[in-house]
Amino acid sequence: MIKAIKGTKDLLPDDVKNWKYLEHNVRNIFRDFNYKEIRTPIFEETLLFERSIGEATDIVGKEMYTFTDRGGTSLTLKPEMTASVVRAFIEHSLGNLQSLNKLFYISPMFRQERPQAGRLRQFHQFGAEALGSASPFLDAEMIQIAFHILKKLGLNDLTVKINSLGVPASRELYKEKLKSFLSDKKELLSEDSRKRFDTNILRIFDSKVDADQHLLKGAPILLEHIDDESRNDFDIVMKALAKAGIPFELDPKLVRGLDYYTKTTFEIVSGKVGSQSALCGGGRYDLLVEELGGKPTPGVGFAAGIERILLACENEKSFTLPDDFLDLFIVKLDKELSSVIFDTASYFRKEGFTVDFDYLDRSVKAQMREANKCNAKFVLFIGGDEHKSGYCNLKKMSNGDQLQVPVAQMDQILQALNTPDLLQNDRSLY
């Protein structure tokens, strides 16, 4: 039997319900903050990701789904969105149309990581990129949006971690300091960290190996070595968050796994999803547009992992959705009435109601079972002697009340269906 590829997941109808609820909230909150949706292709030229995320990162070094197409071009399934959004921003000169572009997205991403709970090879992110302003209040806005969405989904066990990486010049000086601090300990580091020592030394802070963390004790702290402007902006971000009532922790080891960051970086982690605890991450990237060939344009953004968030929601039991329902189920009492039932269903659907009926010529009892399973508010019986004398019968399922209605006056049924207590389920949720 052919099965789904390792690290990918089918979303069955019960899952999709939760996804739609999440997406609905994401879209609403981005609208509140005046972000416009952007959609980019699933694949891009490999060079785009190499140049933006950085060749020495895990993503580019070992996780990308890269292939050569029949024309000989190296293509990559997007592992993240920031690079694609910036590419589109430059390609369509969005900066000329608007001085600040606030964009959001919901999209699948691909990384060939070792699958585990909360870590997939095709996963989904929602996120935002704001291009055109260096204001630290925009950094605070990003954190505010991410936090707000997670709270809206009912999550409580959250920690917002923030740090500043400063500008490249101050970071390079810091890297030298870290290098000399670690140089006599290099041989004691894990193999991965030894590699990072030469290629991407800041990432040693991300090591999960206890011995590495032990060796890092007493290391110089990046935040104490950043430039004055970055420090000043960082103070503004912290003040803005405090004023907005968003609790946060300073995490001097938060270095992030992508190379394009400058100044503020952040993550929001959950205590309820095991080792893959980062629900979202982001930060400022003031040099990326220029690096990809655009005019110098500051940028800031974040992305959040939908699977991880929904796992946290499940583990926290953070929301429950109302059961699906049907306004009307039509029970067919005579097989030969299929055409009448079909037309009747069409009539009510045109009027805006959710309607279904039996396509399997099942017994009346089985049809009623189906109506109950679909959580039908009303059942309409059509057939038998009643139909021959021009009537049908409407039953309200909540209390068993029945109403005989002339077939020629279906509008009476419309009235019954329109009684306010029928549509308790809030469809605006979806």
Contact set with ligand HAM (CB under 6 A): 80-82, 111, 113, 118-120, 123, 125, 127, 129, 257-258, 278-283, 301-305, 307-308
Q: What does the radius of gyration of the chain's CA atoms come to, in whole angstroms?
A: 28
CA atoms of 111 and 121, how far apart (whole Å)? 5
Q: Please, which contacts does 356-360 make with residues 24 or more away whose CB atoms are closer than 8 Å? A: 356/326, 356/328, 356/329, 356/330, 357/329, 357/330, 357/331, 357/332, 358/331, 358/332
**Distance in Å, CB of 104 to ligand HAM, minimum:** 11
- Give the nearer residue to ligand HAM in terms of CB position, either 83 or 326: 83
Evaluate whether 276 touches 118 at the Cβ level (below 8 Å).
Answer: yes
**Distance in Å, CB of 230 to ligand HAM, minimum:** 16
Residue nearest to ligand HAM (CB): 305
- Give the nearer residue to ligand HAM in terms of CB position, either 44 or 129: 129
- Give the nearer residue to ligand HAM in terms of CB position, either 196 or 308: 308
E strand spans, 2-84: 36-37, 43-45, 66-68, 74-77
Q: Is 102 helix (H, G, I), strand (E, B) or coil?
A: strand
**Distance in Å, CB of 137 to ligand HAM, minimum:** 17
Burial of 290 by CB count in 10 Å (0-12 exposed, 13-18 middle, 19+ buried)?
middle
Listed in sequence order, the residues at least 6 apart from 241 whose beta carbon sits closer than 8 Å to its beta carbon are: 140, 143, 144, 160, 162, 248
**Distance in Å, CB of 225 to ligand HAM, minimum:** 22
- Give the nearer residue to ligand HAM in terms of CB position, either 165 or 416: 165
**Distance in Å, CB of 245 to ligand HAM, minimum:** 23
- Give the nearer residue to ligand HAM in terms of CB position, either 123 or 174: 123
Q: Is 159 helix (H, G, I), strand (E, B) or coil?
A: strand
- Give the nearer residue to ligand HAM in terms of CB position, either 286 or 358: 286
Query: From residue 21, how far is each of 24, 158, 226, 366, 430 by CA, in Å?
Result: 5, 20, 41, 32, 6
**Distance in Å, CB of 238 to ligand HAM, minimum:** 19
| Beta-ladder partners of 43 | 77
**Distance in Å, CB of 167 to ligand HAM, minimum:** 16
- Give the nearer residue to ligand HAM in terms of CB position, either 135 or 338: 135
**Distance in Å, CB of 387 to ligand HAM, minimum:** 55
410: amino acid identity, one letter: M
**Distance in Å, CB of 80 to ligand HAM, minimum:** 3
- Give the nearer residue to ligand HAM in terms of CB position, either 312 or 326: 312
- Give the nearer residue to ligand HAM in terms of CB position, either 278 or 330: 278
Burial of 359 by CB count in 10 Å (0-12 exposed, 13-18 middle, 19+ buried)?
exposed
- Give the nearer residue to ligand HAM in terms of CB position, either 76 or 344: 76
62: amino acid identity, one letter: K
Give the helix ranges, DSSP H, for 203-337.
210-216, 228-243, 288-291, 306-316
**Distance in Å, CB of 285 to ligand HAM, minimum:** 6
Burial of 430 by CB count in 10 Å (0-12 exposed, 13-18 middle, 19+ buried)?
exposed
Listed in sequence order, the residues at least 6 apart from 290 whose beta carbon sits closer than 8 Å to its beta carbon are: 296, 297
